[in-house]
Amino acid sequence: MIKKKIFESLRKRGSSVLSLVIDYFKQETLDPLKALSRFVTFGAIGSIFLAMGFVLLLVSLLRVLQEETGAFHGNLSWIPYLIVALVAVAMIAVALWRIVSGPAKRRLPKPGASK
């Protein structure tokens, strides 16, 4: 009789410990992953729209250089393409510069700095 009560008590405690471990696992792993997936989804959508906007701006710059200026005709018709390509490279360089020297770099400790 006493053994039966002891086993029932151990079984209840074991199931409560298992339930606690499962709840903790869900709280510490699944919830942050859900938040991260939302962050990544909105970031990807935003970057797609930004890329489309930059492409449209570059095409509009090309059209302005070709149609609205009278300087690029004949042998000089390749210059608007060069200008737009240089502007695109500059935009990429600025984006990479901001990625490399963004908030993450400011949080890193400086080499040789003591705490």
pLDDT tens track for 61-76: 999 999 988 888 888 8
- Any domain includes 110: no
Under DSSP, the state recorded for 30 is I
Residue 109, domain member (yes or no): no
For residue 77, what are the contacts with CB-CB under 8 A and spacing of at least 6?
66
Task: Yes or no: say if 54 and 91 are a contact pair by the CB < 8 Å rule.
Answer: yes
In a domain, residue 64? The reply is yes
Range of the domain at 42: 2-104
Tell me how far apart the alpha carbons of residues 85 and 76 are, in angstroms, rounded to a whole number: 15
Q: What is the pTM of this model?
A: 0.62
Total number of domains constituting the chain: 1
115 assigned to some structural domain = no
What does the pLDDT look like over 81-107, one tens digit per residue? 999 999 999 999 998 998 888 776 666
Say if 21 falls within a structural domain: yes
Asked whether residue 113 is assigned to any structural domain, the reply reads no
